[in-house]
Chains A and B, each alone.
Chain A
Amino acid sequence: MEEYKELIVRYLSNNTSPAENQQLLEWVKYSPDNREYFINYCNTWNNVGLLDVESRYKKDVAFKKFVSEINKDISKKHPKEISLVVEHASKSSKLYYLIGAVAAVFIAVIGILFLHQGNDSLNNIVAANTEAKTITLDDGTVVKLSSKTTIEYADEFNENRHIAIKGKAFFEVAKDSLHPFVIEAGVSKIQVLGTSFEVTTFEDSTVVKVNTGRVRVADISGNDFVDITIGQIAVCNGSLNMINTRNNSDVNYFSKETGLLVFDNSEMCQVAKDLERHYEQRFSFEDESLEKCKLSAKYDNMKLEDVQQLLEATFGLKIKKINGIYVISGRGC
C-alpha cells in the first residue's frame, strides 16, 4: 500500500496524468482494503480544507449575484409587477444607451492610446539569460533579476512606473508616494509605493514575498486583491481564481538582501542551511548530535569569520575549512 500512497497524494493535489489516474483506479478497485485506504486519505485531505474556508469563497459577491438573479426571476414570473418592471426597463435602457456611448468613446480612446504606444517604441527588454543581474531603473528602483528572467517597460516608464516581469526578481522600489509602482506579473498585478519584495511568476500562478513595507497583490482583472506586509507571502493562482496569503516561515529568506541573520531557538542544521545560503559556502557536521543544538542569535552584517568565532565560543565547537567545506566539530550540547 505504501507505494501507492504517493500516487494517492499526487491525485489529491492534482499532479497526476490520465495514465496515472487509470493505474490508481485499478489499484483502488482491486480490493476493499485498497478502497478504504484511498477513501481514508481523501477524507484527511478534504477535511484539512476546513482551515481555509473563510478566505476561499466570496459570499458577498455570490449574494449580489443572487439578488440580481432573483430580480430577473420576479420580472419573469409575476406579471402583476410588469408595470413596475417596464418602467424599470425603460430607465435602464436609457442607461444602457448612455453606457454604450461612453463605452464607444472609451474604446476609441484606448485604441488611439494603443496605436500611439505601438508607434512610440516597442518596450525596452532586459533579460538575464544565464546568471543573476542587477539593474537600476530611471526612478532609482533596483531590480535583481534571477537567471532566465525578463522585464519589460515602455518609454513612458518615467511617468507611470509600469513594468512587466516574467520569471523571478527581487525589487527595491524607490519611494514615490504620488506614483505607484505597478508590476504586471503573470496572472497578477502588483502595486507598491516604496518597498522591497520578491516576485516569481509561473504559468498559472504568481508568488510574492515581502521583505519590507506593504505590497498590494491583485488578480489580473483587478477585482480581487490582498495587501501583504513584512514576513508575508501572497500566492495568486490564476487557474483556481484565488489569492492566498500566509506567513513566510523562513525568517532568513531575505538575509542576503538585508545582511541580517536571525536565529530564535533554531536547530543547528537549520542554522547551517541559512549560513550556506547567506555566505554561499558549504557546511557539514562531523557528529550528527551537533545538528540538534539550539541557537538564538542575531548577526547583523557580519563577516563569516566573525560568525564562525561567535559560534565556536557559544557551543565550544570547532569550525574548520576542509577541502572548501566548513566542517563543524565538537562535543555537542
Chain B
Amino acid sequence: MSTVPLQKNEHFESDELMFQSIYDTYYTELCLFAKRFVYSDEESEEIVQGVIVRLWTQREKILQIQSVRSYLYTSVRNHCLNYIKHQKYVDAYRDSARHELKEIESEGADEFLNFEVKEKIEVAINDLPERCREVFEMSRFDGLKYREIADQLGITVKAVEANISRALSSLRKSLREYLLVDLIVISIIFCSHGIGDILFLLS
C-alpha cells in the first residue's frame, strides 16, 4: 500500500483537524461499542485508538469511504472479534468459558449504537423502584462488586443480586420493542452496506 508523501504544509494541518473531529464525534461511542465485545474499558480504548491510527495511515482513502462512521464501526468490530479469539487462545486454561460466552454475547451486538434508544433507557431506569435503581447503577455504571454494594447499603449480597436481576428484567421488558426492531433494521443495513465498505477498503 503506498502512502502519499506528506509535506509539512496546510494539507497536514487540515488532516490533523479532520482527525480531531473524528475523535470528537466518534471516539466515545466507538469505545462503548467495543466494550460489548471486550472485557474492560482500557481494552476497548486501545482497540479504538488502534483503528483510528490505522485510518490515519490510509487517510488518502478517507474521501473515498462512503461512510466514515460505518467504516469505523466495522473495523472496531473486526478488531474486537480478533481480540477475543486471541484471548481465547492465550487464556485457554484459565476461564475459557468466559471467552466463549463473550463470543456468543457479541453475536447479538448491534451494528451501530442507536442513540435514539437512550431516552427510552433513561425513562425506563427512572421508573425502577428507588433502591432497585440505586443498586443497579452501582453495579452497571460504577462497576462495584455485589459484596461492595451490600456493604455500602447495609443489605445482604442476596438482596443486591435480587435487585439487579429485577432491574435488568424490568429494563428488558420495557425496552424490548426498541431493541428488537433495531436488530432487524440493523441486519438489513449490514447486509447492504457493511460488506461493500469492507471490500472497497481492501481493494
Contacts and interface: CB of A to CB of B under 8 A. Distances in A.
Contacts of B27: 57, 59, 62-63
A51 B122 contact: yes
Interface stretch (B45-53, B65-73, B189-197): B45-53
Interface centre among B41, B141, B172 (most CB of A within 10 A): B141
A241 B41 contact: yes
A134 interface: no
A303 interface: no
A12 to B, nearest CB: 8
B40 interface: yes
Contacts of A241: 41-42
A21 interface: yes
Contacts of A87: none
A282 B16 CA distance: 65
Interface in B25-62: 27-29, 31-32, 35-36, 40-42, 45, 48-49, 52-53, 56-57
Nearest to A64: B23
Contact of B161 (A9, A53, A237, A244): A9
Nearest to B95: A18
Interface string B65-96: 00000000000000000000000000000110
B41 A56 contact: yes
Contacts of A73: 53, 56-57
Contact of A39 (B45, B98, B105): B105
B53 A54 contact: no
Contacts of A25: 97, 100-101
Interface in B154-190: 161-162, 164-165, 168-169, 171-172, 175, 179
Interface in A67-104: 67, 69-70, 73-74, 77-78, 80-81, 84
Contacts of B108: 39-40, 42-43
Contacts of B114: 47
A242 interface: yes
B148 A246 contact: no
A328 B7 CA distance: 82
A246 B42 contact: no
B11 interface: no
Given A15-B146, A45-B140, A240-B143, A6 B165 contact: yes
A195 interface: no
Nearest to B179: A43
Contacts of B107: 39
A73 B55 CA distance: 13
B113 A78 contact: no
B20 A63 contact: yes
Contact of B28 (A9, A57, A81): A57
Nearest to A237: B143
A179 interface: no
Interface string B130-145: 1001100111111111
Contact of A56 (B31, B113, B164): B31
19 contacts: A9-B161, A15-B145, A28-B101, A38-B104, A42-B105, A43-B110, A44-B175, A46-B36, A49-B32, A51-B141, A53-B32, A59-B27, A62-B49, A69-B53, A73-B56, A200-B152, A207-B144, A240-B40, A240-B42
Given A5-B169, A9-B161, A16-B98, 9 more contacts: A10-B161, A18-B95, A21-B97, A38-B104, A40-B108, A43-B108, A63-B27, A237-B143, A240-B42
